[in-house]
Structure 1
Amino acid sequence: MYPTSLLQGIDVVRNKIKMFAQQKVTLPKGRHKIIILDEADSMTDGAQQALRRTMEIYSKTTRFALACNASDKIIEPIQSRCAVLRYTKLRDEQIMMRLLEVVERENLVTSNDGLEAIIFTAQGDMRQALNNLQSTNSGFGYINSENVFKVCDEPHPLLVKSMLEHCVNANIDEAYKIIEQLWALGYSPEDIIGNIFRVCKTFQMPEYLKLEFIKEIGYTHMKVAEGVNSLLQMAGLLGRLCSKTANLNSS
C-alpha cells in the first residue's frame, strides 16, 4: 500500500509499483497480487499515465485498488479500467454507535447533547467525528454541545434554530438580532449559511414553506460563494424568508 507522499511522482510508478507488478510469485489459482494506492487523486497526470500502462500490461497477475476523495481527478483511461465504487456519507445512527463504543473504551465524560453536536459537526464523516471528539476531550475534559461547538468553531444550531423560528413567525427584527450576533462573533458567511441549511432540513414547519426556505437559502449560498458575502446579504435572506411566511399566511 502506497501513501500520498510517495504517489505524486512518476518515478515511483515506473520503479516501485512496476517492479512489484513484475515480480513472479506463486499464488493459488485465481489469486492475484494486489496494489492499493491510497489518495490516488493526488497523483500527477504523468504518474497516472504511467500507471495506466502498468495496469494494462500486468492485469493478468496484479489487481489495482485506487482510493480517492475526488474521482474526477483520476484520468478517464484509468477510470475505464476500474470498477468504480462510490461510498455515501455515514448515517447518524452509524456514527453514534461507533462514538458510544469509543466513549466506553476511553472512559470519556459526555452528555447526550454533546454526542449529538459531534454528529452534527461531522456531517457523515467518521474521521471528522472522532477528531472532534478527541479535540473536545483534550480541550475541556467534558464533551457537551457548548464545548463541541467551541472546538469546531461553528455557529450553534440552537441559535440558528431560534432564528428560523422567528422567520417562520415573520418576526424579522428578532431574526436579525441573531444573525447580527453570529456576525459579531466572527463566523464566516459560508459557515452561517451552511448551518442555516443543515438546521432547516430537519426543522418542523409546513413542507411547502420548508421547500421555499431551502430554495432561498440555496440562492443566498450561491451569492455568498460568488463573493457577495456581506451582512446585508444575510439580512436580505431573512427578509425573503419572512416574506415567504407572510405570503403563506395571507393565502
Structure 2
Amino acid sequence: MADNSSLPWVEKYRPTEIKDIVGNEETVSRLESISKDGNLPNIIITGPPGIGKTTSILCLAAKLLGPKYKEGVYELNASDDRTLDVVRDKIKTFAEKKVTLPPGRHKIIILDEADSMTSGSQQALRRIMEIHSNTTRFALACNQSTKIIEPIQSRCAVLRFTRLSDSQILKRLREVAAFENVTYTDDGMEALLFAADGDMRQALNNLQATYSGFGHVNQQNVNKVVDIPHPTVIKELIGACCKGSFNEAYPFLTKLWKEGYSSIDIISTLFRITKIYAMPEYQKLEFLKEIGFCNLRASSGVNTLVQLSGLLSRLCIVSENMKK
C-alpha cells in the first residue's frame, strides 16, 4: 500500500463519493440522481477554481463505471497537450475503442480546464461528440463556460458551481486538522478563510503550508504564508477614509507599501473588505467604483504609490461629499 503521509492534503482528503462533496448541494444532488439513473448526458461543469468541479466528475465516473473505471474513463487535464492533433488522435482513438461496460453505461472522456482549448480543437471535439454519441459521453470542467463554443454548449447539460461559504470550508478545515493533529486558533482559521475566498483547494493548501512551516496555525503564521496585506490594517485604512481623513489613512498605506505588498494585492484586499465593511450603501458603492477604476489602472501598469494615494484621496472626497 502506498504511503499517504507525503501526499498533499488536498489530494489525501479529496472526496471519493458524490455524497462527500462539500457545498453546491443542488447541483451535487443532480449528479447523485444521474449516478442512480445511469443516464449520463454530456455535461459542462463551470465555476471558480477550487470548488470541486473535477472532483465531482471523477466521483460520478467512479460511481457509474465501478470496477470498469480504468478501462472506461479517459482524462486529460490542463497540463496535457490538447491541440487539434491530440483531439483527432488520442480522443478519437479512445472514443472508437471497444470496451465492455455494464448495460446502459458509456465510456467517459473528462476534459479539465476545457475553456483553455483552442477553437480548432473544440470544433474537432464537437464532431467526435456527434459521431460517437451512442458509446461515449464527455464531461468538461471549466472556469468560464462562455469560452466553450456554442455547438458544444448546446450538446451538453450545463451545471454551475458557486464559491463555497466560509462555514462549509471551516467545517472541512476542522475535520482535516483533527485527522492531522493540527493545533490552531480561531483567528488562524479566520485568516485561512479570508485568504481562501471560497476556494477549498487554497484553504487546504494554506493549512498544510502553515502547519508544515510553523507547526501551529494562528493568524500571524497564516499571514506569513499567504502573504496578503493584513486585513486589520486595511480596515483601519477604510475607517479613516470613511471619516474623510487622508492624513490618518495615508500612514496605513505607506506601512503596507514598505512591507513590499504589490498594488494589486492592496487593491484586491481593499475591495474585499470594503464589500463587508459597515457603511452606508451609497458610500460603499462609490468606494467600490473608485477601487475598481484604480484596479483597472494598476492592471494596465500604472501601479505606483502615487496611484494608490490618489485612490485614498478620492475615497476621502466621497466621504466629505456625503457629509455635505
TM-score by length of 2: 0.72
| C-alpha displacement of 1:96 | 0.9
In 1: Cα distance, 2:313 partner to 2:253 partner: 12
The one-character-per-residue Cα deviations of 1:92-118 (angstroms, maximum 9, x if unpaired) are 111111111111111111111111111
| C-alpha displacement of 1:189 | 0.7
Note the 1:127-206 alignment, pairs <5 A. 127-206=201-280
| C-alpha displacement of 1:51 | 1.7
Q: Cα–Cα, structure 1 residues 6 and 231, in superposed 2: closer, same or farther, change >3 Å?
A: closer
In 1: Cα distance, 2:146 partner to 2:284 partner: 33
In 2: Cα distance, 1:5 partner to 1:210 partner: 41
Q: Which amino acid aligns with 1:52?
A: R
In 2: Cα distance, 1:78 partner to 1:47 partner: 11
| C-alpha displacement of 1:243 | 1.9
Q: Which amino acid aligns with 2:123?
A: Q
RMSD: 1.9
Gaps of 5+ in 2: 1-74
How many residues of Structure 1 are paired with residues of Structure 2 in the alignment? Answer: 250
In 1: Cα distance, 2:258 partner to 2:78 partner: 40
The one-character-per-residue Cα deviations of 1:51-91 (angstroms, maximum 9, x if unpaired) are 22111101122111111223344333322322222211111
Does 1:243 pair with 2:317? yes
Q: Cα–Cα, structure 1 residues 108 and 46, in superposed 2: closer, same or farther, change >3 Å?
A: same
Does 1:2 pair with 2:76? yes
In 2: Cα distance, 1:5 partner to 1:168 partner: 46
1:116 to 190, 193, 204: 190
3-state DSSP of counterpart to 1:197 = helix
Query: What residue is the counterpart of 2:50 in the other structure?
Result: none
Q: Which amino acid aligns with 1:51?
A: L
In 1: Cα distance, 2:111 partner to 2:81 partner: 8
In 1: Cα distance, 2:317 partner to 2:78 partner: 50
TM-score by length of 1: 0.91
| C-alpha displacement of 1:167 | 1.2
3-state DSSP of counterpart to 1:84 = strand
In 1: Cα distance, 2:236 partner to 2:110 partner: 48
Q: Cα–Cα, structure 1 residues 44 and 216, in superposed 2: closer, same or farther, change >3 Å?
A: closer
Query: What residue is the counterpart of 1:215 in the other structure?
Result: 289
In 2: Cα distance, 1:192 partner to 1:27 partner: 53
Identity of aligned residues (%): 59
Gaps of 5+ in 1: none
3-state DSSP of counterpart to 2:198 = coil
| C-alpha displacement of 1:140 | 1.1
1:32 to 99, 106, 123: 106
1:102 to 170, 176, 180: 176
Q: Cα–Cα, structure 1 residues 118 and 82, in superposed 2: closer, same or farther, change >3 Å?
A: same
3-state DSSP of counterpart to 1:31 = coil
3-state DSSP of counterpart to 2:138 = strand
| C-alpha displacement of 1:7 | 4.4
Query: What residue is the counterpart of 2:125 in the other structure?
Result: 51
Q: Which amino acid aligns with 2:274?
A: C
Does 1:66 pair with 2:66? no
3-state DSSP of counterpart to 1:216 = helix
Q: Which amino acid aligns with 1:36?
A: I
3-state DSSP of counterpart to 1:4 = coil
| C-alpha displacement of 1:204 | 1.5
2:302 to 222, 228, 247: 228
The one-character-per-residue Cα deviations of 1:120-156 (angstroms, maximum 9, x if unpaired) are 1111111111111111112111111111111111100
Query: What residue is the counterpart of 1:23 in the other structure?
Result: 97
In 1: Cα distance, 2:120 partner to 2:282 partner: 51
In 1: Cα distance, 2:260 partner to 2:133 partner: 54
Q: Which amino acid aligns with 2:272?
A: R
| C-alpha displacement of 1:191 | 0.6
In 1: Cα distance, 2:236 partner to 2:79 partner: 46
